[in-house]
Amino acid sequence: MRIAVEGCMHGDLDTVYKTLQYAEKKHGFKIDLLLCCGDFQAVRNEEDLESLNVPRKYRSMNSFWKYYSGEELAPYPTIFIGGNHEASNYLWELYYGGWAAPNIYFLGFAGVVKFGNIRIGGLSGIYNSRNYYLGHHERPPYNESTIRSVYHVREYDVQKLMQVEEPIDIFLSHDWPLGITDYGKWEELVRRKPYFKKEIQERTLGSAAAAQLLEKLKPPYWFSAHLHCKFAALVQHGEGGPLTKFLALDKCLPGRPFLQILELESEPGPYEIRYDEEWLAITRRLNSIFPLTRKRANFGTVDLLKEDCHQWVGSRLQERGANPFEFVRTVPCYNPSQSGSSGSFSGYPRNPQTESFLQFLELPYLLDNMSEPKDLSYSPASLLQSGSFDDNSEAIPIDDVDELEELAEEVDDEETMFSNKKKESEISRVYNYLLSTSTPRKARTLMERRPVVFSVLLFIVVLHSVAASPSSSSSSANLSFNFYAASCPSAEFMVRNTVRSASSVDPTIPGKLLRLLFHDCFVEGCDASVLLQGNGTEQSDPANRSLGGFSVIDSAKRVLEIFCPGTVSCADIVALAARDAVEMAGGPAIQIPTGRRDGMVSAASNVRSNIVDTSFSVDEMIKLFSSKGMSLNDLVTLSGAHTIGTAHCSAFSDRFQKDSKGKLTLIDTSLNSTYADELIKQCPADSSPSVLVNNDPDTSFMFDNQYYRNLLSHRGLFQSDSVLFNDERTRKQVEDFANDQVGFFESWGQSFFKLTITGVKTGDEGEIRRSCSATNM
C-alpha cells in the first residue's frame, strides 16, 4: 500500500492532487491514500469563510468547494485532520468524523479509522494550555474569542485517544509533539527557523497533549505540519522498545517539501475507509460526559474498562457493516458566477451523517446543545478558578507560524506602498477622511485596514500639537506617533500579537506588563533600564524582584529583530506592551508616540526613592508624582492600574499583626473587616512568600473601574490605595471614577500618555539594544 502524506493543505486540493498524479505517471506506481495533517480549509461557501480564523485579506475560496459540489471528485481517498485555519463551523457538524466531500474523510476532532488493515488515528487542532481543560463551549456563529479557541485541543478528546489499546499504525497531529526536536537534528532546524531556538531550549515548542499520546500509543509513524518546515525524528520508546518515525511537512507551495510518499506492508486491496470497532466503543462509552460548556469533563463517572460496550459495537457492525454513512450536502455551495452569497440558508444545520452515526450507536445528538449564551464574554477569571493554565507561566508558544509569515508579507507590502509616490492622491483622500472622522471606531477601522497610511496621516495631524505643547520636554517632543512607519511599519502589530499570545496563555500577563512600565518610567525614565540584568542593576533591588513580564518583552524583541534588526527600542516595546495589555484586559484603546531610546544606566540605588511604596501617604505620593511632572489627577487615575494584577502577602502585611497565638489580626481600621478576614485566609501568618493575592478581589483580570468601587467599600488592598478615599483631596475623584467608568477611561488615556513620555531618551541619547537584558557595549 502506498500512502501519500501532505502537510498544511490550505484549501489547495487541486495542486496536491495534480502533484500526486504527476508522481504516479513519472514513477509508474499507484497511490492508494492521501493523508493531510491539518489546515485543510474545507470551505464550502462564503458563509464558511466567516468561521475561518485568518486575516480577512487572506480569506479565499480556494478549491475545496469544487469537490464538495461534485464538480470535481477526489482522485484518491483522502483523510484529513483539522488545524488552526479551518471552516470550524463545518468541522463541528462532523465532530465525530465523516465525509466532508465525496472520497474526502474528516477524522473528527479525535478519531481512529481503518484503511484496509492499517489503523489511522488523529487529533485535530492545536494545543493551548489555557483552553485544554475546558469543554467544547464554542458554537457558530463565532465571536472574536471563540473563533480563536474552537480549534484548541481539549482534554476530553485526548483522553478518548488515551483509551486506545490496540496498535495504531499511523497517527496525525497538526502541531508537533512537545520535545520531538530532541530526537532529530534540531540544530539544522534552528538554522532554517531561528525563532524556534528559544522555544526548543525552554521546551515550549509543540503540544504537551501530543507528547502524551506519543508516549502512550507508540505508533510506527507520526506525521505533523503547522510549523511550515520539514523535520524528521526517530523516537526510541525505552531500551529495546518500539520505534516511531516522526515527520513534519511544509505547506503546499512551489519548491516546499509538503509531500511524502511511503509504502507499507498490507493485505491486498482494494481498500476502503471503514469504522474502527474499538474507537466506536470508546466513543459510545465516553459520550455521556461529553463536555459542552466550559466545565471540564468528569471522567470519574464512567467505567473506562467496560468490555460489554466493545462487544455491543462489534455486533452492530456485523449487522450493518463498517462503511461510514454516506456523504450529504447540508448547505448551498459556492458559485463563482454569482457575486456575494451563493444562496440563503438559516442557522447551522445538523449533518445527516452525524445524526445517522449517533443513531447507530444509540447516542443522543448533543452538538447543538447550548447551556451558555453564544455571546458570553471570555472570562480569564473562570479559567483561573478551573486551574486551566499555569499561574506562573510566561512562556509564549509559537501558536501560529502562518501569522509570522503573513506578517513578513505585510511588512514587504507596506514598505512598497509607503515608498510608492503614486499613492500621494490616495493619501490625500484618506487624510481628508481622517479629519472628518467623528468616532474612534471609524479611525480604528482605518488604522487596521491601512496601517501605514493611517500612521503617516496621524503623524501629520499630531506633530505640531506634540511639538508645540508647553509641557513637552525637548526629548518627548522628539517622539512621534508611529515613529516606525517607514523603518518598521508593523512594529506595533508585532508587539500587540506577542502580548495577545502571552495573555491567552496566562491572564496575569497584562498586570505584570503594566507594573513593569511603572517601575521602568519612574526610575530612570521610560528607557528600559529595568530590563538590564546584572549585579547592582534595578532588577536586583528587592522591590523589583517580584516583577514579571520580561519574557513577553524578550519575545517581542526577538520577532522584531528578525524583521527589523536594530530598529525598535526595548523602551518602546515596554510602553507599547503595557498599552496593549490594558486594552486586551478590557481597558481603553489609546495611541502613544514612539521613538524612545534605550538607557545605558541601571542602578539599584535609584529604585527605592523613585517608586511608590504600598505604605505611602497621599502627601508622599503627591511629592513623588510631582517630581515626575504629574498632577494629583494623574496620581488618582494611574492608581487605577491596581484594577488588575497580583501582589505578594508582604505588600500589605503592615495592615495586620500577630496575636499571642501567632495568628494575624487586623490593626488597620480603615480596611473592611470581612475583606480582611478573606486576606488572612489567603495569607495566614505562616504562608509561603510566593503566595499571591489579586489586587482586585472581584474582577481581577478585567481592566475596569472596580478598583474605585472597592475603595468606596473600604476594600483597597494596599494602604496607599485606602488613603485615596480617606483623604479629602482625592476622595471626590475616587467617587467620580467609581460611578463613571467612561470618565475613568478618558482620564486614563491622558495620564497614561504622560506616564509613557516621562524622562524619555531620544535622538542621540541612549541606544537601540540588540538584546533587552544587556547594553550593546
What's the confidence (pLDDT) of residue 504? 81
> Is 519 labeled as catalytic in the residue annotation?
yes
Give the sign of the dihedral formed by CA 23, CA 27, CA 33, CA 37: negative
Task: Give me the catalytic one of 148, 316, 515, 596.
Answer: 515
- Residue 636 in contact with residue 737, Cβ under 8 Å? yes
340: confidence class by pLDDT, cuts 50, 70, 90:
low
What's the confidence (pLDDT) of residue 545? 87
pLDDT tens digits, one per residue of 385-430: 333 333 333 333 444 556 555 544 444 444 443 444 334 444 444 4
User: Which class for 362: exposed (0-12), middle (13-18), buried (19 or more C-beta within 10 A)?
Assistant: exposed
What's the confidence (pLDDT) of residue 370? 62
Q: In this model, does residue 464 exceed pLDDT 50?
A: no
Q: Which three cell numbers stand for residue 624?
A: 513623588
Of 462-466, 616-620, 636-640, the range with the lowest mean pLDDT is 462-466
Residue 11: strand, helix, or coil: coil
Rounded distance between C-alpha atoms, residue 177 and residue 159, angstroms: 16
Residue 713: strand, helix, or coil: coil
What's the confidence (pLDDT) of residue 412? 41
Distances (CA, A) of 15 to 21, 197, 240, 254, 617: 10, 32, 42, 10, 70
Rounded distance between C-alpha atoms, residue 345 and residue 355, angstroms: 20
CA torsion, ordered 129, 134, 137, 143, to nearest 10 deg: -30
Higher-pLDDT residue of 437 and 723 is: 723
Give which of 494, 500, 495, 465 is closest to 481, Cα–Cα. 465
Q: What is the mean pLDDT of the chain?
A: 85
> Is 137 labeled as catalytic in the residue annotation?
no
- Residue 499 in contact with residue 735, Cβ under 8 Å? no
pLDDT tens digits, one per residue of 54-89: 888 778 999 999 999 999 999 999 999 999 999 999
What's the confidence (pLDDT) of residue 401? 59
Task: Give me the catalytic one of 53, 351, 544, 710.
Answer: 544
Task: Give me the catalytic one of 130, 642, 709, 715.
Answer: 642
- Average pLDDT score over residue span 327-349: 74
- Average pLDDT score over residue span 505-526: 94
196: confidence class by pLDDT, cuts 50, 70, 90:
confident
Residue-wise DSSP of 600-664: S---GGGTGGGS--TT--HHHHHHHHHHTT--HHHHHHHHGGGGS-EEEGGGGGGGEEE-TTS-E
Higher-pLDDT residue of 100 and 300 is: 100
Give the sign of the dihedral formed by CA 516, CA 518, CA 519, CA 521: positive
347: confidence class by pLDDT, cuts 50, 70, 90:
low
Q: In this model, does residue 570 exceed pLDDT 80?
A: yes
Share of the chain above pLDDT 70, in %: 84
Q: In this model, does residue 439 exceed pLDDT 50?
A: no
- Average pLDDT score over residue span 427-447: 42
Task: Give me the catalytic one of 130, 519, 597, 714.
Answer: 519
CA torsion, ordered 603, 607, 609, 612, to nearest 10 deg: 170
Structure letter (DSSP) for residue 773: T
> Is 85 labeled as catalytic in the residue annotation?
no
Higher-pLDDT residue of 300 and 549 is: 549
Q: Which three cell numbers stand for residue 517?
A: 512600565
Of 148-157, 427-436, 529-538, the range with the lowest mean pLDDT is 427-436
Of 477-491, 558-572, 595-609, 725-739, the range with the lowest mean pLDDT is 477-491
Beta-bridge partner residues of 261: 4
Of 142-151, 330-339, 509-518, 708-717, the range with the lowest mean pLDDT is 330-339
Q: In this model, does residue 473 exceed pLDDT 90?
A: no
- Average pLDDT score over residue span 149-162: 95
Q: In this model, does residue 198 exceed pLDDT 90?
A: no
Q: How far is CA 482 from the centre of its chain?
A: 25
- In 60-163, the DSSP E strands lie at 78-80, 98-101, 104-106, 110-115, 118-123
Higher-pLDDT residue of 666 and 519 is: 519
What's the confidence (pLDDT) of residue 332? 94
- Average pLDDT score over residue span 460-487: 60
- Residue 322 in contact with residue 275, Cβ under 8 Å? yes
Of 51-65, 69-83, 92-106, 518-532, the range with the lowest mean pLDDT is 51-65
- Average pLDDT score over residue span 113-137: 94
Angle at 150 between CA 389 and CA 341, to 5 degrees: 155
339: confidence class by pLDDT, cuts 50, 70, 90:
low
Higher-pLDDT residue of 688 and 726 is: 726
What's the confidence (pLDDT) of residue 130? 83
Q: In this model, does residue 52 exceed pLDDT 50?
A: yes
> Is 648 labeled as catalytic in the residue annotation?
no
Burial call 746-768: b when 16+ CB within 10 Å, e when fewer? ebbbebbebbbbbbbbbeebbbb
